[in-house]
Amino acid sequence: TLSGGRRRRVLVMLSRFPWRPALSELIGGRRGGVRCNPSRSPLRARAQSFHTTLSESQTYVHEAKKSRFVAVASPVSSAEEAMEFVRDLGDSQASHNCFAYKAGPAQRCSDDGEPSGSAGIPILSAIEQESLDYVVCLVIRYYGGTKLGKGGLARAYGAAARECLKAAERIQVRPKARCEATIGFDDIGAVFGMLDSRSSGEVTRCQEDRFVDEGVVVTVEVDEEVERELAGDLKRATSGRVVLRRLENNEDDGR
């Protein structure tokens, strides 16, 4: 679930809209989510050395023929966190809770009972058109008594998501690689000095060093764009004795 502080901030933003019923349980109990086919997404993601995401959660309200569309967008670190956000903030008393998220290669959208393609895909398109990644956007609709038609719904959901994302502050995040190196006792001074000399944020020590018979095992997070350069510097400084090795997810921590 969302952390207490982060949930409170979002709820405070939403509390500005007194007509909104109380937030409650996940939308999926009443209607199943629709998974988007990434290959059919309106825009395809492009590889780059960093991604742009939101710095904090943002809300926006769009009205169309007396229906209210409350958009809530937030940065996330994974698909699982995106779904937690939807579960925590989806409103079972609303007419529909539609959402989309993009978290690296993972993306998903849901029409939540609206006509197919009229809600989730427009929200996902807004995320991609704003060149954002690791973002979730939930659009909650309160029916106003007038049907909008499929085209009107697509425009309303897209507009709510797009304006919400446009209003949000953004940050650029560089992708990190988690790596480890075993450093012999004779090389500790040179290697630690090299790691400390790297500019702030490029290399981060991310857990306690582990002592082994050969020396000490150091785990670091490295900007992907400098990973190869750092590996080369370590080899040259130690005559090939220290090798930087990227960790796979299942090797991470807790060995």
Give the tens place of pLDDT for each residue, 1-12. Answer: 556 666 566 555
Q: Are 237 and 230 in contact (CB under 8 A)?
A: no
Residue 224 pLDDT class (50, 70, 90 cuts): confident
Q: Is 150's pLDDT higher than 60?
A: yes
Closest CA to 137 of 116, 163, 171: 163
Query: What is the rounded CA–CA span in Å between residue 25 and residue 87?
Result: 6
Residue 36 pLDDT class (50, 70, 90 cuts): very low
Q: What pLDDT, on the 0 to 100 scale, is given for residue 33?
A: 39
Query: What is the rounded CA–CA span in Å between residue 231 and residue 107?
Result: 33
The HSE-up count of residue 161 (CA atoms within 13 Å, CB side) is 32
Three-class secondary structure of residue 115 per DSSP: coil
**Which of the pair, 158 or 28, is modelled with greater confidence?**
158
Closest CA to 119 of 86, 151, 166, 76: 151
Segment 238-253 shows an average pLDDT of 78
Model's pTM, two decimal places? 0.63
Q: What pLDDT, on the 0 to 100 scale, is given for residue 35?
A: 42
Q: Is 213's pLDDT higher than 50?
A: yes
**Which of the pair, 254 or 157, is modelled with greater confidence?**
157
Segment 139-146 shows an average pLDDT of 95
Percentage of the residues of the chain whose pLDDT score is greater than 90: 56
Q: Is 14's pLDDT higher than 60?
A: no
Residue 175 pLDDT class (50, 70, 90 cuts): confident
User: Dihedral, CA atoms, 237, 238, 239, 243, nearest 10 degrees?
Assistant: -100
Task: Classify 31 in phi/psi space as left (phi over 0), alpha (psi -120 to 50) or beta.
Answer: beta
